[in-house]
Amino acid sequence: MSLLLGHIVDALGGSLEGGATRDVVISRIAPLEVAGPGDLSFLSNPRYQQQLAASRAACVIVAPAMRDAALARGACIVADNPYVYFARATQLWRQRNAPAQQAGVHASAVVDPMALVHPTATIGPLCVVERGAQVGAGTILKSRVTVGEGCTIGARCIVHAGVVIGADGFGFAPEQGQWVKIEQLGAVRIGDDVEIGANTCIDRGALQDTVIEDGVKLDNLIQIGHNVHIGKHSAMAGCVGVAGSATIGAHCTVGGGAIVLGHLELADNVHISAATVVTRSLTRPGQYTGMFPIDDNARWEKNAATLKQLHSLRERIKALEQALKAA
């Protein structure tokens, strides 16, 4: 479970400096403050420069601007984007040290004969792939994933355990106090290079398809409602809920626990803070937030109680202003 520094630089580029020799054995990738003499580390944020100086790592990946500081400590790899370099190093690590899940359909999976699974795709243990579903080249369904009837997943996707793709969207017409089911006749279409976290759900569309474009990354326990459209390379953290027919642009990010209401449109490059409720369309890029600030419970209680009178407080301020003007 180790690699030579030389092999790393051969595979990923960057310049080896500060007395680092190609034949140093790296046994682990580790954060600066934890790394020991056999470890490769990285400095992605100049804020942590002090940790760099103190680190016992065998070698540290740094940006050109940090080159001098790194050399003062010892061995380093200088790379344009140390964080991306680190990411690729983890990939190298996995490739060399961990055997990949074998391509093919696990014996315990239930794959409909009318499903289309690419020969290089991996259908893990206890997955269900229904009739007419398609799974693209190199895509991996880890374990206990359901891909519903007629849903398609592109190439090189990773779908973690417990994911449900293509359950019915939540559609009912009210009639005399009861609910009449609207059958969900659409499907789910997922592009290439999408990653979907554990136990996340993506519902099928009512009449048209729910669409997840290329490169989208979804964390765990996310709910994507029917007819939602998520643009390329957008990313969402855990526990997010996106209600039906919302359209989210490309390169958006949504923080953990945020909720996007139905039928809204979010432009490209919109960023939603954690736990924020999006109640209107957002047509301009930017960061948006709405969350009650945390406080000691006692102070929160006072402020929350006053909040219920906020509108009347505004009226009292108005009255004061008028009274003062009149005085």
Indicate whether 261 belongs to the interface with its own copies (CB under 8 A): yes
Spot the catalytic one: 226, 233, 271, 311: 226
Nearest CB to its own copies, comparing residues 71 and 269: 269
Nearest CB to its own copies, comparing residues 19 and 251: 251
Among residues 138, 257, 265, 285, the one that binds its own copies under rule CB under 8 A: 257
Indicate whether 29 belongs to the interface with its own copies (CB under 8 A): yes
Among residues 26, 60, 164, 267, the one that binds its own copies under rule CB under 8 A: 164
Task: Give the three-state DSSP class for 273.
Answer: coil
Please report how close the Cβ of residue 20 comes to its own copies at its closest, in angstroms: 20
Nearest CB to its own copies, comparing residues 71 and 259: 259
Nearest CB to its own copies, comparing residues 71 and 251: 251
CB 45 within 8 A of CB 36: no
Q: Nearest-CA neighbor of 170 among 197, 218, 210?
A: 210
Q: How far apart are CA 89 and CA 77, in angstroms?
A: 12
Catalytic, 118? Answer: no
Please report how close the Cβ of residue 271 comes to its own copies at its closest, in angstroms: 8
Q: How many residues bind its own copies (CB under 8 A)?
A: 122
Place of tokens 């380093």: 76
Structure tokens at 76: 């380093």
Q: Which range of residues in 17-25, 30-38, 47-55, 61-69 is near its own copies by CB under 8 A?
A: 30-38
Which residues, 124 to 163, sit near its own copies by CB under 8 A? 124-126, 128, 130, 142-144, 146, 148-149, 158, 160-162
Which residues, 188 to 207, sit near its own copies by CB under 8 A? 195, 197-199, 201, 203, 206-207
Q: Nearest-CA neighbor of 164 among 149, 146, 150?
A: 146
The one-letter amino acid at 310: L
Instruction: Tell me the pairing of strands 39-42 and 59-62.
Output: parallel
Nearest CB to its own copies, comparing residues 19 and 96: 96
Residues present in the chain in total: 327
Among residues 21, 172, 263, 283, the one that binds its own copies under rule CB under 8 A: 172
Please report how close the Cβ of residue 154 comes to its own copies at its closest, in angstroms: 15
Q: Which residues contact 98 (CB under 8 A, 6 or more apart)?
A: none
In Å, how far are 112, 144, 178, 209, 317 from 115, measured between CA atoms?
A: 5, 17, 36, 18, 67
Which residues, 41 to 80, sit near its own copies by CB under 8 A? none
DSSP codes joined into one string, 212-254 = E-TT-EE-TT-EE-TT-EE-TT-EE-TT-EE-TT-EE-TT-EE
Catalytic residues: 226
